[in-house]
Amino acid sequence: MGEPRKRTFAKKDNAASPEGERIAKVIARRGAASRRQAEQMIADGRVTLNGKKVTSPALNVTDKDDILIDGEQLGERQGTRVWLYHKPAGKVVTENDPEGRETIFADLEARGLPRVLTIGRLDINTEGLLLLTNDGGLKRVLELPSTGWLRRYRVRAYGRVTQDQLDKLKKGMEVEGIKYGPIEARIDRAQGGNVWIDVALREGKNREVKNVLGALGLQVNRLIRVSYGPFQLGDLPVGEVETVKSRILADQLGKRLADEAGVDFKAPMPAALPGKTDIAARKMKPRDITAPRVRRPKRRDEDVEPEKPRGKPRRRIFFDDGRKPEYFEPEGDRKSRRSDAKPSSRDGRPPKAGAGRPQRPDNGRPQKRSENRPSGRSQNRPTDRPGKPR
């Protein structure tokens, strides 16, 4: 037998490779749809490139190409943005519901948010934290189980279960042929016939919490997502939206996830919320310290209010014709007016002669009591008690 033939690989010619990115990836990056949805749009013939219908997603495009979806121009790419949304129960996480149920996108559009994509899904009866983004690449990366972001839920279920049964979920479980990964569950408290359980998982398959707890004999009647990775629901009111700042988002993603998702924080950012602008999106103009300071012109004399007297004013008079109140001091201060006033009794009659406090001599010492002056005790009062012999 001859020697085995070695396999040879042709070197990739970078110069001959087409420029740009895949059209489905570009559509997802601009927030029009996810990459899978973009590929389906192309298969349905809804996408045109430079006036020609696109039939395959294996096509690279650049910024110079003209892309239309359903006859509408594909918007320019904006900076990566993430919003926190407190989804209420009773709303569907889909754009077009065939049954005509109320969707979250109708609520978000009414609030003035741009076209956004949901990171993950929540059932119609599930409430709590839902992440929104305008970057399809970031949506795809954060939904992957390999990303490792933990998702926490508060579950209220009808029935009885022990902590030992819940601890077995750490090894995973198979329900009706579907394998579920490790789940951390802890009993919080029992309330009547219900029990509250804290659940944490990383996969997030469709109806995973309800199916796994249902296999343990529990019937889930309320499900609240309280966190998704590092983002917490906190005290965000139901139905409200909160913007994640670009700096915080970059710190939480890290370099690995940011490079894998291809996020862009340099492009123009959309408004943080309707009527508000993120600080990172503003172009702050630095102050030139070498420029001379501009002094404000002084006000005219008639515009300057008169200087108020120091201390608490004694009197203030108001005018009915709209003039400013004026401050004035009464004639003579309070002490002089008291010293000049003549003493009088309470009933208005002049005081009796010798009334008032005794005058002190010039040396400032009180006068000694005279020996002939009677003391405070009466002279006729007996010194001993009656009825007792002396």
Q: Which of the residues are catalytic?
A: 123
Residue 135: Cβ within 10 Å count: 26
Tokens for 174, please give them.
């198979």
Residues 6 or more apart whose Cβ sits within 8 Å of residue 316:
325, 326, 327, 328
For CA atoms 372, 375, 377, 378, give the dihedral sign.
positive
The pair of structure tokens assigned to 160 is 């009885």
Tell me whether strands 21-22 and 60-61 are parallel, antiparallel or unpaired: antiparallel
Closest to 106 measured CA to CA, from 118, 93, 125, 120: 93
Asked if 209 and 201 count as a contact pair (C-beta separation under 8 A), the reply is yes
Nearest alpha-carbon partner for 262 in 270, 253, 271: 253
Distance, in Å, from the CA atom of 202 to the CA atom of 79, rounded to the nearest integer, reads 27
